[in-house]
Amino acid sequence: MFEGTLVDLVPFEDDYATYLESWMNEEAWFRAHLWDRREPHPEDAVKKYIEKMEKNERAALIGYQTKAGDPIGGLIYDHEWSRVRKVEVTFFTGDSRYEGTDEVLDGLLMLARYCFETRNMHRLDAMSLAFDEARIDALRRAGFVHEGTLRQHIRWDGDYVDVELYGLLEDEWPGYAARIEALGLQASDLEPKPKPEKKLEDEKALDEKILAP
Amino acid sequence: MMFEGLLVDLVPYGKRFFALERTWRNNDSAFWSSGGDRHIVSRASIQRMADRWAEEAEQMGPSRGIMFGVQAKDGTPLGFITINWLLPHSRLAMLGARIGDPAYWGGGYGTDALLLIIDYAFGWLDMRKLWLGTTSVNVRVMRQMEKTGFALEARERCAALMDGVWHDGLLYGLLREEWPGRDAMVERLGLRAKDGQNGSSTR
Ligand SMILES: CC(C)(COP(=O)(O)OP(=O)(O)OC[C@H]1O[C@@H](n2cnc3c(N)ncnc32)[C@H](O)[C@@H]1OP(=O)(O)O)[C@@H](O)C(=O)NCCC(=O)NCCS
Protein backbone atom coordinates (compact mmCIF):
# COMPACT_ATOMS: atom_id res chain seq x y z
CA MET A 1 0.00 0.00 0.00
CA PHE A 2 1.24 3.47 -0.93
CA GLU A 3 -0.25 5.97 1.52
CA GLY A 4 -1.52 9.40 0.60
CA THR A 5 -3.39 12.07 2.53
CA LEU A 6 -7.02 11.15 1.82
CA VAL A 7 -6.46 8.02 -0.25
CA ASP A 8 -4.17 5.03 -0.45
CA LEU A 9 -2.97 3.26 -3.58
CA VAL A 10 -3.48 -0.49 -3.64
CA PRO A 11 -3.19 -3.35 -6.13
CA PHE A 12 -6.10 -3.52 -8.52
CA GLU A 13 -7.51 -6.90 -7.50
CA ASP A 14 -10.17 -8.61 -5.37
CA ASP A 15 -13.08 -6.18 -4.81
CA TYR A 16 -11.64 -3.86 -7.46
CA ALA A 17 -11.89 -6.58 -10.09
CA THR A 18 -15.52 -7.12 -9.12
CA TYR A 19 -16.35 -3.42 -9.09
CA LEU A 20 -14.69 -3.00 -12.47
CA GLU A 21 -17.34 -5.25 -14.01
CA SER A 22 -19.80 -2.41 -13.53
CA TRP A 23 -17.35 0.53 -13.56
CA MET A 24 -16.09 -0.41 -17.01
CA ASN A 25 -19.60 0.05 -18.38
CA GLU A 26 -20.28 3.39 -16.78
CA GLU A 27 -19.93 6.98 -17.89
CA ALA A 28 -16.80 7.78 -15.88
CA TRP A 29 -14.91 4.96 -17.58
CA PHE A 30 -15.70 6.14 -21.08
CA ARG A 31 -14.79 9.72 -20.25
CA ALA A 32 -11.40 8.58 -19.03
CA HIS A 33 -10.91 6.32 -22.08
CA LEU A 34 -11.96 8.85 -24.63
CA TRP A 35 -10.17 7.14 -27.54
CA ASP A 36 -12.03 3.89 -27.12
CA ARG A 37 -15.14 2.94 -28.97
CA ARG A 38 -18.11 2.90 -26.63
CA GLU A 39 -19.15 -0.70 -26.32
CA PRO A 40 -20.27 -3.06 -23.57
CA HIS A 41 -17.63 -4.85 -21.52
CA PRO A 42 -18.81 -8.25 -20.31
CA GLU A 43 -16.97 -9.95 -17.43
CA ASP A 44 -14.49 -11.61 -19.79
CA ALA A 45 -13.43 -8.32 -21.34
CA VAL A 46 -12.96 -6.82 -17.88
CA LYS A 47 -10.75 -9.70 -16.80
CA LYS A 48 -8.73 -9.47 -19.98
CA TYR A 49 -8.25 -5.75 -19.51
CA ILE A 50 -6.86 -6.22 -16.01
CA GLU A 51 -4.53 -8.97 -17.26
CA LYS A 52 -3.37 -6.87 -20.18
CA MET A 53 -2.51 -3.98 -17.88
CA GLU A 54 -0.66 -6.27 -15.49
CA LYS A 55 1.49 -7.67 -18.27
CA ASN A 56 2.20 -4.28 -19.82
CA GLU A 57 5.55 -3.04 -18.57
CA ARG A 58 4.91 0.49 -19.78
CA ALA A 59 1.56 0.84 -18.05
CA ALA A 60 -0.25 0.17 -14.79
CA LEU A 61 -3.74 0.15 -13.37
CA ILE A 62 -3.74 1.02 -9.67
CA GLY A 63 -6.66 1.01 -7.24
CA TYR A 64 -7.27 3.98 -4.94
CA GLN A 65 -9.41 4.01 -1.83
CA THR A 66 -10.33 6.15 1.13
CA LYS A 67 -8.56 5.78 4.44
CA ALA A 68 -11.56 3.70 5.55
CA GLY A 69 -10.81 1.30 2.68
CA ASP A 70 -13.70 2.31 0.40
CA PRO A 71 -12.62 1.75 -3.24
CA ILE A 72 -13.00 4.89 -5.39
CA GLY A 73 -11.73 3.88 -8.79
CA GLY A 74 -8.51 3.52 -10.75
CA LEU A 75 -5.36 5.47 -11.50
CA ILE A 76 -3.63 4.65 -14.75
CA TYR A 77 -0.33 5.42 -16.35
CA ASP A 78 0.28 4.28 -19.88
CA HIS A 79 2.82 4.47 -22.72
CA GLU A 80 5.69 5.16 -20.38
CA TRP A 81 8.52 6.22 -22.67
CA SER A 82 11.87 5.77 -21.01
CA ARG A 83 14.00 7.66 -23.54
CA VAL A 84 11.99 10.84 -23.05
CA ARG A 85 10.90 10.03 -19.47
CA LYS A 86 7.33 10.81 -20.43
CA VAL A 87 4.10 9.05 -19.52
CA GLU A 88 0.37 9.51 -20.02
CA VAL A 89 -1.71 9.65 -16.85
CA THR A 90 -5.42 9.31 -16.28
CA PHE A 91 -7.90 8.32 -13.60
CA PHE A 92 -11.51 7.31 -13.29
CA THR A 93 -13.98 7.76 -10.48
CA GLY A 94 -15.67 4.36 -10.42
CA ASP A 95 -17.84 5.23 -7.44
CA SER A 96 -19.61 8.28 -8.84
CA ARG A 97 -20.35 9.65 -5.37
CA TYR A 98 -16.69 10.71 -5.28
CA GLU A 99 -16.84 12.67 -8.54
CA GLY A 100 -15.26 16.09 -8.00
CA THR A 101 -14.08 15.34 -4.44
CA ASP A 102 -10.65 15.91 -2.98
CA GLU A 103 -10.24 12.14 -2.73
CA VAL A 104 -10.02 12.02 -6.53
CA LEU A 105 -7.62 14.97 -6.54
CA ASP A 106 -5.44 13.20 -3.99
CA GLY A 107 -5.52 10.10 -6.21
CA LEU A 108 -4.21 12.19 -9.10
CA LEU A 109 -1.57 13.79 -6.87
CA MET A 110 -0.46 10.37 -5.68
CA LEU A 111 -0.20 9.22 -9.30
CA ALA A 112 1.90 12.28 -10.13
CA ARG A 113 4.01 11.63 -7.04
CA TYR A 114 4.56 8.05 -8.10
CA CYS A 115 5.47 9.01 -11.68
CA PHE A 116 7.89 11.80 -10.71
CA GLU A 117 9.30 10.70 -7.39
CA THR A 118 9.45 6.95 -7.93
CA ARG A 119 9.47 6.36 -11.67
CA ASN A 120 11.69 9.36 -12.40
CA MET A 121 9.50 10.78 -15.14
CA HIS A 122 10.25 14.16 -16.68
CA ARG A 123 6.81 14.93 -18.10
CA LEU A 124 3.23 13.80 -17.53
CA ASP A 125 0.67 14.03 -20.34
CA ALA A 126 -3.01 14.28 -19.53
CA MET A 127 -6.13 15.04 -21.51
CA SER A 128 -9.81 15.62 -21.03
CA LEU A 129 -12.94 15.90 -23.09
CA ALA A 130 -13.74 19.60 -23.12
CA PHE A 131 -16.97 19.19 -21.15
CA ASP A 132 -15.47 16.97 -18.42
CA GLU A 133 -15.27 19.77 -15.88
CA ALA A 134 -14.50 17.61 -12.86
CA ARG A 135 -11.45 16.17 -14.61
CA ILE A 136 -10.22 19.54 -15.82
CA ASP A 137 -10.65 20.97 -12.35
CA ALA A 138 -8.63 18.14 -10.79
CA LEU A 139 -5.87 18.53 -13.40
CA ARG A 140 -5.66 22.29 -12.83
CA ARG A 141 -5.57 21.97 -9.07
CA ALA A 142 -2.88 19.32 -9.34
CA GLY A 143 -0.79 21.85 -11.27
CA PHE A 144 -1.18 20.63 -14.86
CA VAL A 145 -0.77 23.33 -17.51
CA HIS A 146 -3.17 23.63 -20.45
CA GLU A 147 -1.23 23.11 -23.68
CA GLY A 148 -3.83 23.17 -26.40
CA THR A 149 -7.16 22.03 -27.77
CA LEU A 150 -7.61 19.26 -30.30
CA ARG A 151 -10.58 20.57 -32.23
CA GLN A 152 -13.65 18.38 -32.82
CA HIS A 153 -11.50 15.38 -32.09
CA ILE A 154 -13.74 12.72 -30.61
CA ARG A 155 -17.18 11.52 -31.57
CA TRP A 156 -19.40 11.78 -28.51
CA ASP A 157 -23.11 11.10 -28.54
CA GLY A 158 -23.87 12.72 -31.87
CA ASP A 159 -21.23 15.44 -31.77
CA TYR A 160 -17.55 15.91 -32.40
CA VAL A 161 -16.08 17.32 -29.22
CA ASP A 162 -12.81 19.07 -28.41
CA VAL A 163 -10.09 17.45 -26.35
CA GLU A 164 -8.08 19.60 -23.94
CA LEU A 165 -4.41 18.70 -23.52
CA TYR A 166 -2.43 19.20 -20.33
CA GLY A 167 1.15 18.67 -19.29
CA LEU A 168 3.08 18.73 -16.04
CA LEU A 169 6.87 18.93 -15.95
CA GLU A 170 9.25 17.60 -13.38
CA ASP A 171 10.51 21.08 -12.48
CA GLU A 172 6.93 22.33 -11.99
CA TRP A 173 6.26 19.61 -9.43
CA PRO A 174 7.13 20.95 -5.97
CA GLY A 175 6.93 17.48 -4.43
CA TYR A 176 3.86 15.74 -3.04
CA ALA A 177 4.19 17.14 0.46
CA ALA A 178 4.47 20.76 -0.71
CA ARG A 179 1.56 20.35 -3.11
CA ILE A 180 -0.65 18.89 -0.38
CA GLU A 181 0.25 21.65 2.01
CA ALA A 182 -0.72 24.32 -0.52
CA LEU A 183 -4.04 22.66 -1.39
CA GLY A 184 -5.49 21.91 2.06
CA LEU A 185 -7.54 18.86 1.02
CA GLN A 186 -10.88 18.11 2.68
CA ALA A 187 -12.16 14.57 3.19
CA SER A 188 -15.72 14.10 1.96
CA ASP A 189 -16.48 11.52 4.68
CA LEU A 190 -18.83 9.49 2.52
CA GLU A 191 -20.22 6.31 4.01
CA PRO A 192 -18.19 3.32 2.70
CA LYS A 193 -20.33 1.24 0.35
CA PRO A 194 -21.18 -2.34 1.25
CA LYS A 195 -18.77 -5.00 -0.05
CA PRO A 196 -19.77 -6.32 -3.47
CA GLU A 197 -21.99 -9.37 -3.37
CA LYS A 198 -20.60 -10.80 -6.57
CA LYS A 199 -17.30 -11.33 -4.81
CA LEU A 200 -18.94 -13.33 -2.06
CA GLU A 201 -20.61 -15.58 -4.62
CA ASP A 202 -17.30 -16.18 -6.36
CA GLU A 203 -15.67 -17.05 -3.09
CA LYS A 204 -18.46 -19.46 -2.31
CA ALA A 205 -18.10 -21.10 -5.69
CA LEU A 206 -14.36 -21.36 -5.15
CA ASP A 207 -14.84 -22.78 -1.66
CA GLU A 208 -17.26 -25.36 -3.03
CA LYS A 209 -14.76 -26.31 -5.69
CA ILE A 210 -12.00 -26.71 -3.16
CA LEU A 211 -14.24 -28.64 -0.76
CA ALA A 212 -15.68 -30.88 -3.46
CA PRO A 213 -14.22 -34.37 -3.26
CA MET B 1 -4.57 1.89 -56.65
CA MET B 2 -1.51 3.93 -57.37
CA PHE B 3 -1.94 7.64 -56.69
CA GLU B 4 -0.12 9.88 -59.13
CA GLY B 5 1.22 13.22 -58.06
CA LEU B 6 3.37 15.78 -59.85
CA LEU B 7 6.72 14.83 -58.32
CA VAL B 8 5.91 11.51 -56.67
CA ASP B 9 3.61 8.54 -56.87
CA LEU B 10 2.20 6.62 -53.92
CA VAL B 11 2.82 2.90 -54.39
CA PRO B 12 2.92 -0.20 -52.19
CA TYR B 13 5.76 -0.14 -49.69
CA GLY B 14 7.34 -3.27 -51.16
CA LYS B 15 10.75 -4.91 -51.39
CA ARG B 16 12.46 -2.08 -53.26
CA PHE B 17 11.63 0.21 -50.37
CA PHE B 18 12.31 -2.29 -47.66
CA ALA B 19 15.81 -2.86 -49.04
CA LEU B 20 16.58 0.74 -48.09
CA GLU B 21 15.13 0.57 -44.58
CA ARG B 22 18.49 -0.17 -42.98
CA THR B 23 20.05 2.95 -44.48
CA TRP B 24 17.07 5.17 -43.72
CA ARG B 25 16.56 3.90 -40.18
CA ASN B 26 20.16 4.58 -39.28
CA ASN B 27 20.38 8.08 -40.70
CA ASP B 28 19.04 11.53 -39.83
CA SER B 29 15.66 10.92 -41.42
CA ALA B 30 14.76 8.57 -38.57
CA PHE B 31 16.10 11.09 -36.06
CA TRP B 32 13.65 13.69 -37.35
CA SER B 33 10.69 11.38 -37.87
CA SER B 34 11.00 9.87 -34.39
CA GLY B 35 11.52 13.23 -32.69
CA GLY B 36 15.09 12.62 -31.65
CA ASP B 37 15.82 8.91 -31.53
CA ARG B 38 19.13 7.69 -32.87
CA HIS B 39 18.41 4.23 -34.14
CA ILE B 40 21.37 1.98 -34.50
CA VAL B 41 19.62 -1.03 -35.89
CA SER B 42 20.63 -4.12 -37.81
CA ARG B 43 18.87 -5.52 -40.84
CA ALA B 44 17.73 -8.51 -38.77
CA SER B 45 16.08 -6.41 -36.09
CA ILE B 46 14.36 -4.28 -38.72
CA GLN B 47 13.01 -7.48 -40.24
CA ARG B 48 11.78 -8.66 -36.83
CA MET B 49 10.04 -5.33 -36.27
CA ALA B 50 8.38 -5.56 -39.66
CA ASP B 51 7.19 -9.11 -38.96
CA ARG B 52 5.76 -8.07 -35.63
CA TRP B 53 3.90 -5.14 -37.17
CA ALA B 54 2.50 -7.35 -39.89
CA GLU B 55 1.21 -9.79 -37.26
CA GLU B 56 -0.36 -7.05 -35.18
CA ALA B 57 -1.84 -5.42 -38.25
CA GLU B 58 -3.71 -8.59 -39.12
CA GLN B 59 -5.60 -8.46 -35.84
CA MET B 60 -6.43 -4.77 -35.99
CA GLY B 61 -9.10 -4.72 -38.65
CA PRO B 62 -10.34 -1.30 -39.73
CA SER B 63 -8.08 0.64 -37.37
CA ARG B 64 -5.00 -0.86 -39.02
CA GLY B 65 -2.56 1.73 -40.35
CA ILE B 66 -1.92 2.13 -44.06
CA MET B 67 1.55 2.65 -45.48
CA PHE B 68 2.46 3.91 -48.93
CA GLY B 69 5.86 3.97 -50.54
CA VAL B 70 6.68 7.40 -51.95
CA GLN B 71 8.61 7.20 -55.18
CA ALA B 72 9.98 9.82 -57.55
CA LYS B 73 8.68 9.94 -61.09
CA ASP B 74 11.76 8.06 -62.29
CA GLY B 75 10.85 5.24 -59.91
CA THR B 76 13.42 6.00 -57.21
CA PRO B 77 12.09 4.94 -53.80
CA LEU B 78 12.13 7.98 -51.50
CA GLY B 79 10.43 6.88 -48.31
CA PHE B 80 6.99 6.36 -46.86
CA ILE B 81 3.84 8.22 -45.99
CA THR B 82 1.35 6.62 -43.61
CA ILE B 83 -2.06 6.89 -42.08
CA ASN B 84 -1.88 5.46 -38.59
CA TRP B 85 -4.10 4.98 -35.64
CA LEU B 86 -7.41 5.18 -37.48
CA LEU B 87 -10.41 5.66 -35.22
CA PRO B 88 -13.32 4.93 -37.55
CA HIS B 89 -15.89 5.80 -34.87
CA SER B 90 -14.41 9.30 -34.57
CA ARG B 91 -13.38 9.39 -38.26
CA LEU B 92 -9.96 10.47 -37.07
CA ALA B 93 -6.53 9.38 -38.26
CA MET B 94 -2.92 10.36 -37.80
CA LEU B 95 -0.45 10.99 -40.61
CA GLY B 96 3.26 10.27 -40.68
CA ALA B 97 5.99 10.60 -43.29
CA ARG B 98 9.66 10.01 -43.79
CA ILE B 99 11.72 10.75 -46.86
CA GLY B 100 14.76 8.61 -46.25
CA ASP B 101 17.42 10.36 -48.29
CA PRO B 102 18.11 13.88 -46.94
CA ALA B 103 19.17 14.92 -50.45
CA TYR B 104 15.48 14.89 -51.37
CA TRP B 105 14.31 17.08 -48.48
CA GLY B 106 12.97 20.53 -49.21
CA GLY B 107 12.32 19.72 -52.87
CA GLY B 108 8.55 19.57 -52.66
CA TYR B 109 8.33 15.76 -52.72
CA GLY B 110 6.92 15.50 -49.21
CA THR B 111 4.20 18.07 -49.84
CA ASP B 112 3.22 16.39 -53.09
CA ALA B 113 2.83 13.09 -51.20
CA LEU B 114 0.93 14.82 -48.40
CA LEU B 115 -1.67 16.26 -50.77
CA LEU B 116 -2.24 12.80 -52.22
CA ILE B 117 -2.69 11.09 -48.89
CA ILE B 118 -5.00 13.81 -47.54
CA ASP B 119 -7.27 13.35 -50.55
CA TYR B 120 -7.16 9.59 -50.03
CA ALA B 121 -7.99 9.84 -46.32
CA PHE B 122 -10.97 12.16 -46.88
CA GLY B 123 -12.12 10.81 -50.23
CA TRP B 124 -11.73 7.06 -49.78
CA LEU B 125 -11.48 6.37 -46.07
CA ASP B 126 -14.13 8.95 -45.16
CA MET B 127 -12.05 10.45 -42.40
CA ARG B 128 -13.24 13.74 -40.98
CA LYS B 129 -10.13 14.95 -39.27
CA LEU B 130 -6.43 14.30 -39.84
CA TRP B 131 -3.74 15.15 -37.33
CA LEU B 132 -0.05 14.74 -36.89
CA GLY B 133 2.67 15.38 -34.38
CA THR B 134 6.12 16.82 -34.85
CA THR B 135 8.69 18.75 -32.87
CA SER B 136 9.13 22.51 -32.60
CA VAL B 137 12.45 22.34 -34.47
CA ASN B 138 11.19 20.42 -37.50
CA VAL B 139 10.98 23.43 -39.79
CA ARG B 140 10.16 21.39 -42.89
CA VAL B 141 7.07 19.89 -41.34
CA MET B 142 6.03 23.21 -39.79
CA ARG B 143 6.30 24.89 -43.18
CA GLN B 144 4.38 22.05 -44.81
CA MET B 145 1.56 22.39 -42.27
CA GLU B 146 1.36 26.11 -42.82
CA LYS B 147 1.28 25.67 -46.59
CA THR B 148 -1.42 23.03 -46.58
CA GLY B 149 -3.74 24.69 -44.05
CA PHE B 150 -3.31 22.56 -40.93
CA ALA B 151 -3.96 24.39 -37.66
CA LEU B 152 -1.51 24.25 -34.78
CA GLU B 153 -3.69 22.82 -32.01
CA ALA B 154 -1.31 22.09 -29.17
CA ARG B 155 2.22 22.68 -28.01
CA GLU B 156 3.38 20.04 -25.56
CA ARG B 157 6.22 21.56 -23.62
CA CYS B 158 9.49 19.66 -23.44
CA ALA B 159 7.97 16.55 -24.97
CA ALA B 160 10.96 15.66 -27.15
CA LEU B 161 14.59 15.08 -26.30
CA MET B 162 16.79 15.71 -29.33
CA ASP B 163 20.55 15.41 -29.01
CA GLY B 164 20.41 16.40 -25.35
CA VAL B 165 18.06 19.36 -25.73
CA TRP B 166 14.38 19.45 -24.79
CA HIS B 167 12.02 20.69 -27.47
CA ASP B 168 8.25 21.06 -27.59
CA GLY B 169 5.96 18.65 -29.35
CA LEU B 170 3.53 20.23 -31.83
CA LEU B 171 0.17 18.78 -32.78
CA TYR B 172 -1.53 19.91 -35.98
CA GLY B 173 -5.03 19.16 -37.21
CA LEU B 174 -6.96 19.54 -40.45
CA LEU B 175 -10.74 19.22 -40.64
CA ARG B 176 -12.35 17.99 -43.80
CA GLU B 177 -14.32 21.22 -44.22
CA GLU B 178 -11.01 23.12 -44.25
CA TRP B 179 -9.63 21.09 -47.14
CA PRO B 180 -10.28 22.63 -50.55
CA GLY B 181 -9.29 19.44 -52.38
CA ARG B 182 -5.99 18.48 -53.97
CA ASP B 183 -6.53 20.27 -57.28
CA ALA B 184 -7.27 23.57 -55.56
CA MET B 185 -4.22 23.11 -53.34
CA VAL B 186 -1.95 22.31 -56.29
CA GLU B 187 -3.12 25.51 -57.87
CA ARG B 188 -2.82 27.58 -54.74
CA LEU B 189 0.75 26.41 -54.12
CA GLY B 190 1.66 26.61 -57.80
CA LEU B 191 3.02 23.06 -57.82
CA ARG B 192 4.42 21.78 -61.07
CA ALA B 193 6.06 18.60 -62.37
CA LYS B 194 9.83 18.86 -62.79
CA ASP B 195 11.02 19.48 -66.35
CA GLY B 196 10.96 16.39 -68.50
CA GLN B 197 8.73 14.49 -66.07
CA ASN B 198 5.18 14.84 -67.14
CA GLY B 199 3.62 12.75 -64.48
CA SER B 200 4.29 9.33 -65.99
CA SER B 201 6.43 6.85 -64.13
CA THR B 202 9.18 4.96 -65.91
CA ARG B 203 8.59 1.87 -63.80
C1 LIG C 1 9.01 16.02 -43.47
C2 LIG C 1 9.26 15.68 -44.91
C3 LIG C 1 8.38 14.47 -45.28
C4 LIG C 1 8.81 16.87 -45.75
O5 LIG C 1 9.03 16.59 -47.09
P6 LIG C 1 9.89 17.60 -47.99
O7 LIG C 1 9.90 17.07 -49.37
O8 LIG C 1 11.19 17.83 -47.33
O9 LIG C 1 8.98 18.91 -47.86
P10 LIG C 1 8.70 20.05 -48.92
O11 LIG C 1 9.94 20.35 -49.70
O12 LIG C 1 7.49 19.71 -49.69
O13 LIG C 1 8.33 21.23 -47.94
C14 LIG C 1 9.21 21.65 -46.96
C15 LIG C 1 9.17 23.15 -46.81
O16 LIG C 1 10.12 23.52 -45.81
C17 LIG C 1 11.05 24.45 -46.35
N18 LIG C 1 12.34 24.22 -45.74
C19 LIG C 1 13.23 23.25 -45.99
N20 LIG C 1 14.31 23.39 -45.24
C21 LIG C 1 14.10 24.49 -44.48
C22 LIG C 1 14.88 25.18 -43.50
N23 LIG C 1 16.06 24.72 -43.13
N24 LIG C 1 14.33 26.26 -42.92
C25 LIG C 1 13.11 26.70 -43.27
N26 LIG C 1 12.35 26.11 -44.20
C27 LIG C 1 12.85 25.02 -44.79
C28 LIG C 1 11.06 24.15 -47.81
O29 LIG C 1 11.58 25.23 -48.53
C30 LIG C 1 9.59 23.88 -48.07
O31 LIG C 1 8.83 25.05 -48.09
P32 LIG C 1 8.51 25.85 -49.47
O33 LIG C 1 7.70 24.93 -50.30
O34 LIG C 1 7.78 27.05 -49.02
O35 LIG C 1 9.81 26.15 -50.11
C36 LIG C 1 10.74 15.37 -45.19
O37 LIG C 1 11.50 16.54 -45.04
C38 LIG C 1 11.29 14.29 -44.28
O39 LIG C 1 11.00 13.13 -44.46
N40 LIG C 1 12.09 14.67 -43.26
C41 LIG C 1 12.69 13.73 -42.33
C42 LIG C 1 11.69 12.95 -41.50
C43 LIG C 1 10.64 13.81 -40.86
O44 LIG C 1 10.91 14.88 -40.38
N45 LIG C 1 9.40 13.32 -40.88
C46 LIG C 1 8.26 14.00 -40.34
C47 LIG C 1 8.16 13.82 -38.90
S48 LIG C 1 6.68 14.56 -38.27
* pLDDT, tens digit, 9 for 90 and up, residues B114-155: 999 999 999 999 999 999 999 999 999 999 999 999 999 999
| Torsion-angle region of A56 (φ positive above 0: left; ψ -120 to 50: alpha; else: beta) | beta
Q: Are the CB atoms for A194 and A17 separated by under 8 Å?
A: no
Residues of chain B found within 8 Å of residue A84, distances taken between Cβ atoms? 36, 159-161
CB A7 within 8 A of CB A113: no
* Domain B3-189 superfamily per CATH: Gcn5-related N-acetyltransferase (GNAT) (3.40.630.30)
**For the domain that residue A198 is a member of, what is the CATH number?**
3.40.630.30
CA B198 to CA B4: how far, in whole Å?
11
Determine the 3-state secondary structure of A12 from DSSP: coil
Domain around A102:
2-211
pLDDT of residue A208: 66
pLDDT at B199: 47
Domain count across chain A: 1
Residue ranges of domains in chain B = 3-189
Are the C-beta atoms of B76 and B16 separated by less than 8 Å? no
**In angstroms, rounded to a whole number, what is the distance separating the alpha carbons of residues A144 and A116?**
13
| Bridge partner list, B84 | B94
Is the pLDDT assigned to residue B203 strictly greater than 50?
no
Tell me what the pLDDT averaged over chain A comes to: 95
What are the pocket residues of ligand 1 if the criterion is a CB atom closer than 6 Å to any ligand atom? B 29, 32-33, 79, 97-99, 105-111, 134, 138-141, 143-144, 147
What is the model's pLDDT at position B202? 41
B120 vs B17: CA distance, rounded Å: 21
Per-residue model confidence as pLDDT tens digits over A101-110: 999 999 999 9
Which of A37, A149, A155 is the closest to B154 by Cβ?
A149
Provide the residue type at B33 as one letter.
S
Residue B198 confidence (pLDDT) above 60: no
Q: Residue B186: which H helix or E strand, with range? A: helix B182-189
Short-list B85, B108, B87, CA closest to B96: B85
Q: Kindly report which listed range (A157-161, B39-43, B161-165) carries the lowest average pLDDT score.
A: B39-43
Q: Please state the pTM of the whole predicted model.
A: 0.94
Look at residue A201 and tell me whether its pLDDT is greater than 70: no
Distances (CA, A) of A64 to A2, A3, A74, A132, A200: 9, 10, 6, 20, 21
